[in-house]
Structure 1
Amino acid sequence: MAVRAVRGATQLEEDVREHMLDRVAELVNEVMAANGLSVDDFISIIFTSTDDLVSEFPAYAARQLGFTEVPLMCARELEIQGSMPRVVRLMAHVETDLPRADVTHVYLHGAANLRRDLARVKSVPDA
């Protein structure tokens, strides 16, 4: 079994607590489904959010999904002029038998535009 890093991001429509929790839960669930992972496969997750998101810690959504014994950390994304607003990113360290080339990184909603260079980007259209 190898340790791999899985990346992902989602964009929120607005900074509202329930919306934050829904979008982050969706992101974590999509990362798990796309890579055949369970909570026990996660070593740690680092969440970042842009400065315009202050309604809730992204990690709280993962705690609600059962990530009670997985170390989680939240941090601020760099403020770069012209960068995409209202974005939560994650980098999860997991144990998996997947070769590095088969790890699926998940970018949802407007955040899909962040990594068009990845062949396996999963984009969920906005409702």
Structure 2
Amino acid sequence: MIRGIRGATTVDKNEGSEIVDRAYELMNGIVEENDLEARDVAQVMFSATSDINETFPAKALRKLEGWKYVPVMCMQEIEVPSGLERCIRVMVTVNTSKEPQEIKHVYHYEAVKLRPDLTEEGD
């Protein structure tokens, strides 16, 4: 079965190193929480709000051991007036036998506000 794993994080500043570090932290959390192997991942799609443009969050994926051949893409998040600022979102498409409720979506920093129902704080 193909399933999506979602996640999001925020950065304090539009700085390349922080963008990559936070995106890596997010991806690492998704990998650990869901026991992922690169061979089971079909694609990874990152989006970022328009106030994040110093570098590509997708660069973080290349820091994960064994993920060299996983397709990855970045795009700009739509601008919503009440939307969360300096936010990076990710959708990881995986082949898994897990049921939807077994998937662990990961939200860090200010992004926990986006889906409190899917984070530990929202349990």
Match of 2:111 in 1: 111
Match of 1:83 in 2: 83
- Deviations 1:75-118 (CA, angstroms, capped at 9, x unpaired): 00010102110000000101122111100110011100111122
- In the alignment, the residues of structure 2 paired with residue 122 and residue 61 of structure 1 have an alpha-carbon distance, to the nearest angstrom, of 24
Match of 1:47 in 2: 46
Secondary structure class of the residue paired with 2:114: helix
Match of 1:97 in 2: 97
- In the alignment, the residues of structure 1 paired with residue 120 and residue 40 of structure 2 have an alpha-carbon distance, to the nearest angstrom, of 21
Q: How many residues align?
A: 120
Secondary structure class of the residue paired with 1:117: helix
Question: Could you tell me which amino acid in structure 1 is paired with residue 20 of structure 2?
Answer: L
Query: Contact (CA 8 Å) 1:50, 1:87: kept in 2 or not?
Result: yes
Gaps of 5+ in 2: none
- In the alignment, the residues of structure 2 paired with residue 54 and residue 65 of structure 1 have an alpha-carbon distance, to the nearest angstrom, of 22
- Percent identity between matched residues is 34
Q: Which 4+ runs in 1 deviate beyond 2 A?
A: none
Secondary structure class of the residue paired with 2:36: coil
Match of 1:68 in 2: 68
Match of 2:14 in 1: 15
> TM-score, normalised to structure 1's length?
0.89
- Deviations 1:8-60 (CA, angstroms, capped at 9, x unpaired): 00010111111111100000000011111122221101100000001111111
- In the alignment, the residues of structure 2 paired with residue 51 and residue 35 of structure 1 have an alpha-carbon distance, to the nearest angstrom, of 29
- In the alignment, the residues of structure 2 paired with residue 72 and residue 122 of structure 1 have an alpha-carbon distance, to the nearest angstrom, of 28
RMSD of the TM alignment (CA)? 1.2
> TM-score, normalised to structure 2's length?
0.92
- In the alignment, the residues of structure 2 paired with residue 13 and residue 47 of structure 1 have an alpha-carbon distance, to the nearest angstrom, of 18
Query: Contact (CA 8 Å) 1:52, 1:85: kept in 2 or not?
Result: yes
Gaps of 5+ in 1: none
Q: How many Å apart are 1:122 and its aligned residue?
A: 4.8
